[in-house]
A and B are shown apart, each in its own frame.
Chain A
Amino acid sequence: MIATRETVSAAPAAQGPQETFVLNLGPQHPAAHGVLRVLMTMEGEWIQRAEPVIGYIHRMHEKMGENRTWAKFLPNTSRIDYLSAMHYTHAFVGAVERAMKIEVPLRAEYARVITSELNRISSHMVWWGALLLDLGGFTPILYAFDDREKILDLLEGLCGARLTYCYYRFGGLYNDVDDEFLRGTRDFVQHLRPRLKMYRDLVTDNVILRKRLTNIGPIDAEMCRRYGATGPVIRGAGVPYDVRRMEPYSVYPRLDFKVPMYPECDSMARYLVRMDEMEQSLRIIEQALDQIPTGPFLAPKVPRVLRLPAGDYSYAVEAARGRFMVRIVSDGKEIPYRVRLRAPSFSNLSLYEEASRGMILPDALAMMGSLDLVIPDIDR
């Protein structure tokens, strides 16, 4: 796609003594993860205006939701944000369960928490590696993928898929968590702790990375609020907003964890939030492993063909990138009347235009990396 006339002229054109030019960053660019295009009006290396242009892999998931049954939409949910598929399925399943008033067995809830948190760690690892890739460090992504493989192996052994799990079912799980998985998860927790320390020594403490991220890309709490940015972005702005705490779901209220928060509002704060979140996720997993009861993994008497009572219901979860909300509207039929997917990356990216104004290109890309964008999540 070429810059259209309007988009170019919408930018403050070259008037007055300063000269600008338009840089078309993407849709194929090494730093635009996936097919994101950013139309940058630059003055030298300074960004005057960076307008994200999205929709290149729009798949109209919401329309798909309207032409198939509730159960048939389930696989779609793990394909919106393929890096945190568990959370997305959780939200959809949760919304339907909320409408149907299905009581989910405790074992299934704990299993959901464990798998969700594993998924969060794996998602953060991809982010970590990709951020470092954006910053020009190639090695960390492979270390992260080494550890992430272990998570994927665990989840593959559990539900048979490595990325698009589709593991949760209305009222429970696809299949039971076996002992092998629980043991493997315990081993993994032990394995990851020293690795996280290694990450810290190799990257977090590195002076170059500190210089690249500290005081770069300030996004304050007010901006987060006005744009609806959530997740590590808002927690890096000093607001301890976490759906697991604010609108508790599943068995999170029974678990003891901290919400990492840094008040610096810069890219480093967002970075540190995610790094701390990995440790907190490990804590959560350990507790859940200790507490997980035996019992059924699927609620009894879940009808095969669901007819939700008319009305609208929403369910929000804390996905790896922030607040993911499913809003479903039912008219009492067996297919949804409306499925609305509120994607965190969408809101997080929408503040990019304002936040990147006046930055220079490398910093703006570092900030984009610290937002942890997943383009299919934005485009849906």
Chain B
Amino acid sequence: MSLITAIRETFLGFKSLLVGLRITAREASRPIITVQYPRETLKMPARFRGHIKLVLDPETGKPRCTACTLCAKACPSGCIVLDGVKREGDKKKSVSKYELDFTTCSLCGSCVEICPSDAIEFSKEYNVVSLNRDTFENMDLYAKIEAEARAWSAAHPAPPAASPPPAAAPANPTAPASQPLNAPAG
């Protein structure tokens, strides 16, 4: 009896090995599924939470942020430092400095959630790389939005009331080069 069981088990065991081999052979004949990263890139979904960025109002070409500092207060790790000035002609304060310490940011989204004026959103950059640690420790979001605003005003040449020259804004002079981050590959 036990001999029969033993033989049967040996046979079944051997068969299971063959089944395993068949499966790996079948898988080997199927196309590869990995993304060859530097050559192919992924498209991030709409809700992807990258690092945060300031939002430009498409109407006026200015940052929406009113420097209310709610985001900085909501941040669990205290990684947002921002400041605002009240420019002449504006009713509200507007942002003049916005630095994110991306090394401590946990991408939880509390800041985006709490923002009353929808002035922050997640970027879709997922491969943020740099050779410089400072790039992440003091990620100057304001410099970026400035660049965007300049591009906007270049694309919308002088409607009746000339928009304030963005160069006049007190941009952070010590900020690193305005494009330290790699573009999302391509």
In angstroms, Cα B49 to Cα A139, docked, is 31
Q: Chain B interface residue count: which class?
A: 20 to 34
A175 part of interface (Cβ distance < 8 Å):
yes
Residues of chain A lying within 8 A (CB to CB) of residue B17: 206-208
- Which one, B91-99, B103-111, B152-160, B166-174, is touching chain A? B103-111
- Which one, A41-49, A67-75, A255-263, is touching chain B? A67-75
Q: Are A75 and B108 in contact (CB under 8 A)?
A: yes
Q: Are A198 and B23 in contact (CB under 8 A)?
A: yes
Residues of chain B lying within 8 A (CB to CB) of residue A304: 114
Known: A75-B108, A202-B20. A207 touches B47 (CB 8 A): no
In angstroms, Cα B129 to Cα A5, docked, is 45
B76 part of interface (Cβ distance < 8 Å):
yes
Contact of A205 among B16, B76, B122 (CB under 8 A): B16
B33 part of interface (Cβ distance < 8 Å):
yes
Residues of chain B lying within 8 A (CB to CB) of residue A74: 76, 108, 110
Residues of chain A lying within 8 A (CB to CB) of residue B12: 207
Q: Are A156 and B110 in contact (CB under 8 A)?
A: no
B2 part of interface (Cβ distance < 8 Å):
no
Within 8 A of A (CB), among B7-56: 9, 12-14, 16-17, 19-20, 23-24, 27, 33, 45-49
In angstroms, Cα B49 to Cα A73, docked, is 19
Interface string of A76-88 (1 = CB under 8 A from B): 1001000000000
Within 8 A of B (CB), among A36-74: 68, 71-74
Most B Cβ at <10 Å: residue of A71, A73, A160, A208: A160
Q: Are B23 and A202 in contact (CB under 8 A)?
A: yes
Most A Cβ at <10 Å: residue of B13, B27, B45: B45
Interface string of A134-164 (1 = CB under 8 A from B): 0000010001001000000100111111001
In angstroms, Cα B46 to Cα A159, docked, is 9
A174 part of interface (Cβ distance < 8 Å):
yes
For A201, give the chain B residue with the smallest CB separation.
B19
For B13, give the chain A residue with the smallest CB separation.
A207
B134 part of interface (Cβ distance < 8 Å):
no
In angstroms, Cα B79 to Cα A299, docked, is 29
For A175, give the chain B residue with the smallest CB separation.
B47
Q: Are A72 and B109 in contact (CB under 8 A)?
A: no
Residues of chain A lying within 8 A (CB to CB) of residue B108: 74-75, 166
How would you classify the secondary structure of chain A's contact residues: helix, strand, loop or mixed?
helix
Q: Are B27 and A143 in contact (CB under 8 A)?
A: yes
Interface string of B67-110 (1 = CB under 8 A from A): 00000001110000000000000000000000000000011111
Q: Are A160 and B48 in contact (CB under 8 A)?
A: yes
Least Cβ–Cβ distance between A207 and chain B, in angstroms: 3
For B122, give the chain A residue with the smallest CB separation.
A160
Q: Are A207 and B16 in contact (CB under 8 A)?
A: yes
In angstroms, Cα B74 to Cα A75, docked, is 12
Least Cβ–Cβ distance between A152 and chain B, in angstroms: 11
In angstroms, Cα B33 to Cα A159, docked, is 24
Within 8 A of B (CB), among A169-206: 174-175, 198, 201-203, 205-206
Contact of A72 among B49, B76, B107, B122 (CB under 8 A): B76
For B23, give the chain A residue with the smallest CB separation.
A202
In angstroms, Cα B16 to Cα A76, docked, is 44
Least Cβ–Cβ distance between A206 and chain B, in angstroms: 5
Residues of chain B lying within 8 A (CB to CB) of residue A72: 74-76, 110
In angstroms, Cα B49 to Cα A317, docked, is 27
Q: Are B49 and A75 in contact (CB under 8 A)?
A: no
Contact of B49 among A79, A161, A202 (CB under 8 A): A161
Q: Are A71 and B110 in contact (CB under 8 A)?
A: yes
Residues of chain A lying within 8 A (CB to CB) of residue B47: 156-160, 175
Known: A76-B76, A146-B33, A206-B16. A160 touches B23 (CB 8 A): no
Known: A72-B74, A146-B33. A161 touches B107 (CB 8 A): yes
Q: Are A68 and B76 in contact (CB under 8 A)?
A: yes
In angstroms, Cα B74 to Cα A79, docked, is 19
Of the A-B pairs whose beta carbons lie under 8 Å apart in the complex, a sample of 23, sorted by A's number, is A71-B110, A72-B110, A73-B76, A74-B76, A75-B108, A79-B106, A139-B24, A153-B45, A156-B47, A156-B48, A159-B49, A160-B45, A160-B49, A166-B106, A166-B108, A174-B109, A174-B113, A198-B23, A202-B19, A202-B24, A203-B20, A205-B19, A206-B17
